[in-house]
Amino acid sequence: MSNEESIPSNWRKTISENMLFGMGNPLLDISAVVDKDFLDKFGLKPNDQILAEDKHKALFEEIVKRNKVEYHAGGSTQNSVKIAQWMLQKPHKVATFFGCIGKDNFGEILKKKAEEAHVDAHYYEQNEEPTGTCAACITGDNRSLVANLAAANCYKKEKHLDLNSNWELVEKAKVYYIAGFFLTVSPESILKVAKHASENNKIFCMNLSAPFISQFFKEPLMKVMPYVDILFGNETEAATFAKELGFETDDIAVIAHRTQELPKENSKRQRLVVFTQGKDDTVATVGDKVTMFPVLDIDQNEIVDTNGAGDSFVGGFLSALVQEQPLEECIRAGHYAANVIIRRVGCTFPEKPDFH
């Protein structure tokens, strides 16, 4: 056997089940092609992202009656771990996922979709609230997203994370990822996982997720920050974070560097900060320097939906990270995954990746 043929097997560090742990808001994405009348009826803009209000209740009942409805397991963290699992392919169940769903039809669909993606999902199931959903109302190239967190908001540390059988799965992991969105649900669960990672010199990753997290959930965010080994975000989230922390700069490289220098518990690992900027270069801290990594070229006409781009970048990155690849490779894998996903509606992917 020649050297070339034996590279892939050596190249991949041994990866095993439950090596990657994710926790967040599991939502069922319900995509349907609608018309302008449907948007007008519910007061929706063609291209938008909002949280559901009372006036949107009927929207969820109506959209499922459309003739071509697609169901995809969604929610930011769940999307990322699913993409990581897709990038890795084998073994199955490298990724574990915790979150809260309802005991209902949509909850059953989420379980089935997680299984199809070979993610080891352990949901906390409760009766008070229905499974969270996100309606994607598609008109042409546009999609209007309406999120109803519902059950996702009901995750309870003592009812789920603290149970021995579940905590054992946390202990099995080497890399942890939680989107900032989960700070609105269970900051105490995030802290417990983050402290475990820090005390055991494992890698804890987090995402700024949305400007409103830095603005309105700054206190829980900054409580977790000393335990964050890798922080993800996009240019808008980075700018808001900098503003909230009084950095007084909008230079993304400076923001990355200042964020890296924030207090950190585990001194064995220097914090890594990775900010994506859509089609512009990804910015990352490398040692004490800040480096730019160009994204893959894509024809604007081939971009179908940029909504899952951030989640899929993180998923690709995590797939290389669990294999202990260097930063450049992690970012390359992230760029690849995002490039595939933006050509498709929703956070969906072809059967196999074509990444080498």
Asked if 311 is an active-site residue, the reply is yes
Structural contact between residues 111 and 120, judged by C-beta atoms closer than 8 angstroms? no
Q: Please count the residues of the chain.
A: 356
pLDDT reported for residue 324: 94
Domains of the chain with bracketed CATH: 20-26+74-131+149-342 (3.40.1190.20)
Structural contact between residues 63 and 28, judged by C-beta atoms closer than 8 angstroms? no
Cα→Cα distances 136→36, 139, 159, 160, Å: 14, 10, 31, 30
From the candidates 29, 229, 305, 311, give the one annotated as an active-site residue: 311
Residue type, 233: G
In 114-123, which positions are buried (b, 16+ CB within 10 angstroms) versus exposed (e)? beebbbbbbb
Q: pLDDT tens for residues 138-170?
A: 887 777 888 899 999 999 999 999 999 999 999
Rounded to 10°, the helix 164-172/187-199 angle is 50
- Please list the pLDDT of the chain residue by residue as tens digits (356 residues): 333 333 344 446 789 999 999 999 999 888 888 999 999 999 998 887 777 888 998 999 899 888 788 888 889 999 999 999 999 999 999 999 999 999 999 999 999 989 999 999 999 999 999 999 999 898 877 778 888 999 999 999 999 999 999 999 999 999 999 999 999 999 999 999 999 999 999 999 999 998 889 999 999 999 999 999 999 999 999 999 999 999 999 999 999 999 999 999 999 999 999 999 988 999 999 888 999 999 988 887 787 766 688 999 999 999 999 999 999 999 999 999 999 988 877 677 877 888 88
Q: How far apart are the first and last CA of the chain?
A: 20
Q: Please give the model's pTM, rounded to 2 decimal places.
A: 0.89
Query: Is the N-terminal amide bond of 91 cis, ω within 30° of 0?
Result: yes
Which pairs count as long-range contacts for 62-70, CB under 8 Å and 24+ apart, including other chains?
62/38, 63/30, 63/32, 63/34, 63/135, 63/137, 64/30, 64/32, 66/32, 66/33, 66/34, 68/32, 68/33, 69/30, 69/31, 69/32, 70/30, 70/31, 70/32, 70/345, 70/346
* Residue 341 to residue 142: CA distance in whole angstroms: 16
Q: How many Cα atoms are found within 13 Å in the side-chain-facing hemisphere of 287?
A: 1
